[in-house]
């Protein structure tokens, strides 16, 4: 048997195995396997977030905040992407889905917060807390989505399944749709299994969660109410459409005819 099979600490399909590998080989994770795709997207996304966050503070301050975040996030985003890719093969998937966003948040946002405090002190602004909270929400969402993509062979770097960035772009819209459809499909599945309380729980958590995200990103309670309400309405409509399509598929399935074979007709 191989070392990977005999020693679970080196098994890259377990949370413990991946964690120990990263701790024992930090240079390989941070530098040799630096994730340029995640670095690019992380830098661009944070640049736009901070452009919006500081848009009413003047052009100079706005561009300075966006520029600092772009550089910081490009460096840290590559390391974060490498960590996410390492955990993307962990089984069961929920082990990574729950823990990886927390790991990425702790690693990146502690430093980000102090950078923004220093920035605010220099320019006389006071948006460090708000922008960091918004950035944390985006980090958690992007980490979960990146795990989803990487488990399906998209957005990989230095891997045998690695695709070009252009091919990744071709796959992302379809996978994004599938990712968005996870809650309504899960709700419909629970209803079919007569697990009504679980269906209601998933429905409420999805609506409340998206409402909270909307409120945090815009720092307005009204955005939370509107976002949550719209998402709940869309879920109800989507579940109804899934049920309608499913019922039509069942109707199209023709019943199998029963054939009665006379034993005398059998040929050897």
What is the share, in percent, of the chain residues with pLDDT greater than 70?
A: 89
Structure tokens at 162: 């690695």
Query: What pLDDT band is residue 259 in, cutting at 50, 70 and 90?
Result: very low
**Inter-axis angle of helices 128-150 and 196-218, to 10 degrees?**
130
Instruction: Give domain limits for the chain.
Output: 3-164, 182-250
pLDDT tens profile 40-85: 999 999 898 888 888 888 899 999 999 999 999 999 899 999 999 9
């Amino acid at each position: 048997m191989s070392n990977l099979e005999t020693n679970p600490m080196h098994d890259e399909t377990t949370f413990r195995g991946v964690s120990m590998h990263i701790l024992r080989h930090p240079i390989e994770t941070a530098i040799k396997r630096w994730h340029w795709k995640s670095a690019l997207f992380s830098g661009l996304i944070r640049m736009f977030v901070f452009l919006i966050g500081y848009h009413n503070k003047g052009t100079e301050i706005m561009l300075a905040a966006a520029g600092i975040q772009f550089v910081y996030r490009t460096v840290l985003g590559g390391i974060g992407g490498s960590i996410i890719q390492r955990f993307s093969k962990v089984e069961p998937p929920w082990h990574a889905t729950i823990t990886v966003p927390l790991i990425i948040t702790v690693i990146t946002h502690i430093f980000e917060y102090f950078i923004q405090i220093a920035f605010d002190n220099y320019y006389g602004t006071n948006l460090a807390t708000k922008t960091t909270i918004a950035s944390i929400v985006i980090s958690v969402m992007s980490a979960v989505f990146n795990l989803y993509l990487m488990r399906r062979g998209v957005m990989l770097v230095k891997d045998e399944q690695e695709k070009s960035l252009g091919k990744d772009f071709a796959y992302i819209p379809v996978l994004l749709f599938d990712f968005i459809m996870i809650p309504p499909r899960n709700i419909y599945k629970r209803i079919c299994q007569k697990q009504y309380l679980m269906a209601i729980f998933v429905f409420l958590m999805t609506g409340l969660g998206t409402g909270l995200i909307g409120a945090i990103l815009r720092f307005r309670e009204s955005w939370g109410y509107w976002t949550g309400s719209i998402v709940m309405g869309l879920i109800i409509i989507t579940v109804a459409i899934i049920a309608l399509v499913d019922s039509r598929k069942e109707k199209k399935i023709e019943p199998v005819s029963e054939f009665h074979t006379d034993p005398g007709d059998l040929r050897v």
